[in-house]
Amino acid sequence: MIDTYTFTQSKDIISVQPSDNIFKELGNNTYDFKDLISELIDNSIAAGPKDKQIDVKIIVYVDEQNNPTDFVITDNASGIPQDLLGKAISPAGIQTKNSLNEHGLGMKQAVAALGELKYLATKVAGEKKARIITVFKFGSLKTYNADFNCESGTEICVTNIKSIVLTNATAYTRSLVPYLGARYRRLLKPENKKLNLTVSIVKKQTDDVLYTWSIAEIKPVYFHPSTRENRPVILKHLLKGQQWKAELTFGYAPKDKAEYEELGLEQPNKFHPYNVSLSRQGLDVILHDRAILFHQLSELEIIMSKHSDYNSIRGEINLIVGFSTAITKNSIIYDSNFKECIEEITQILNGQKEGPNKNKQNYLKTKTYPEEIPEKLLRDRLIEWLVNNPMSKKQNVNKEFVVWKGLKAILIYWLIKKLGRSKSIKLVP
């Protein structure tokens, strides 16, 4: 290795010129269609004032053969001022920490991956017309003006659409729409809605709306092993390091139709983002109120590999301070802060470190035996079964005394398996 102290300055100067090819190359990323749409939605959210609900409309135009012709996304956010438009176009020109727009690459990545920019129109409050550009490149750009039916906001139109853009309505209903509902669930809460998001497929020649979807909140359903309620075992447990802060929510999913019925809910189909399966076990990673990663457990090395024993595990890791995404925002930078956070979560879930209420418990080994059920609930459920059992209904069942804890499992087994003929049963010690 050359000693840098021996360097002497040369008279030669090297000039590094920006290349417009970068705008095309940004499209060669690992995103799928859901991720590309999310990048553009992120920009709209980041540009919106915090006290205002942001309306985002996405339209995919198709021809007579249902081939995509144009992709349009419109928002009513703050728009891009003239003095910042050049920076917004330049890759990494505007980087906003603690925001969904943290790298300044998302819009350019999404446009290049979807197709070719047709126009970007933007308007800030007080302007009469929108300011428009028709190309992403370095240097001087021609601008145009046109009416824009919004006080402020931005509209991006992409043409020469690539095959990554979906036009099949079934794919939207089964995959795209539920995942957007899950990804932005924190902003779609009905009681405090910050985002109004719609997606439509429109026939270009006639402007007929073929399909439209209003994105609703999709949140994980939990089944608490003790209370039999829709709530996690660990709720927003605070984790802290010297330079980071996060929250852990952990619980178990309903395992079958009966447990969903007990919650008064319909069991989701196999396309649902929180359907119980080998590929959907684990914790969502959330940053800036957006689900960056779904169903992470073995991927975070909390367990060694996927196994059906962990299918019912679900929850969230909410990254609050000290974390950032990679330039493609479907992954987190695995730095010392994130490693330390994941290590602490792993130790808590494995019972190696104290969790909520200073308890140590192996949460990764789910328990379903009757001792977990509170005594009162246990007796209520037993009576319900005895009264309504189609094989041998009991006419009168009274719960007169508290059942001793140590006899609960034995009592259930004895009553259900051995009793069968008497018309009246009294639960006594």
Average pLDDT value for the chain? 87
User: Could you report the per-residue pLDDT of 43-71, keeping only the tens digit for each?
Assistant: 999 888 878 899 999 999 999 999 999 99
Torsion angle of the four alpha carbons 327, 328, 332, 334, in this order, in degrees rounded to the nearest 10 = -60
Q: Which DSSP letter does residue 402 get? A: P
- The pLDDT tens digits for 105-163 are 889 999 999 999 999 999 999 999 999 999 999 998 999 999 998 899 999 999 999 99
The pLDDT of 1-11, averaged and rounded, is 90
What residues contact 347, with CB distance under 8 A and at least 6 apart?
Answer: 353
Whether the per-residue pLDDT at 419 is higher than 70: the answer is: no
Residue 370 has pLDDT above 50, yes or no: no
CA distance 250 to 206: 49
92 touches 105 (CB < 8 A): yes
Q: Can you give the pLDDT at residue 200?
A: 98
Q: 301-308: list long-range contacts, CB under 8 Å, 24+ apart.
A: 301/342, 301/346, 302/342, 302/345, 302/346, 302/349, 302/364, 303/364, 306/278, 306/279, 306/281, 307/278, 308/278
With a CB cutoff of 8 Å and minimum separation 6, the contacts of 233 are 222, 224, 225, 250, 251, 252, 363
3-state secondary structure of 415: helix
> Would the pTM of this model clear 0.85, i.e. be above it?
no
Q: How would residue 384 be classed by pLDDT, with cut points 50, 70 and 90?
A: confident
Residue 404 has pLDDT above 70, yes or no: no
What are the strands of the beta sheet with 282-287, ordered from one edge?
A: 234-240, 245-252, 313-321, 282-287, 290-296
Sheet with 68-75: list strands edge to edge. 144-146, 130-133, 116-123, 153-159, 68-75, 54-62, 195-203, 208-214
Within 13 Å and on the Cβ side, how many CA atoms surround 366? 20
* Mean pLDDT to the nearest integer, 196-214: 97
Residue 422: φ, ψ to 5°? -70, 150
pLDDT tens-digit profile of 257-289?
999 999 999 999 999 999 999 989 999 999 999
Q: Give which of 280, 286, 316 is closest to 298, Cα–Cα.
A: 280
Instruction: Map out the domains of the chain as residue ranges.
Output: 21-214, 234-358, 370-427
How many residues in total does the chain contain? Answer: 429
In angstroms, rounded to a whole number, what is the distance separating the alpha carbons of residues 152 and 130?
A: 9
Cα-flanking dihedrals φ and ψ of residue 266, to 5°? -85, 140
Q: Pairing state of beta strands 195-203 and 54-62?
A: parallel
pLDDT value of position 90? 86
Q: Token pair for residue 20?
A: 């417009």
Q: At what angle do helices 408-417 and 375-388 cross, to 10 degrees?
A: 0
Please identify, in words, the CATH class of the domain defined by 234-358.
alpha beta
Angle CA 119–187–294, to nearest 5: 90
CA distances from residue 341 to 61, 248, 297, 302 in whole angstroms, order as listed: 44, 10, 14, 11
**Encoded tokens for 161:** 């659409």
Check pLDDT > 60 for residue 104.
yes
Q: Has residue 42 got a pLDDT over 80?
A: yes
Contact call for residues 178 and 271 (beta carbons, < 8 A): yes
Architecture of the domain whose range is 21-214: 2-Layer Sandwich (3.30)
Residues 80, 86, 92, 96: is their CA dihedral positive or negative? negative
Q: Which whole number is the average pLDDT over 170-196?
A: 95
pLDDT for 368 beyond 90? no
Tell me what pLDDT residue 429 has: 47
Calculated CA dihedral for residues 107, 175, 218, 108, nearest 10 degrees: 0
Distance CA 336, CA 180 (A): 30
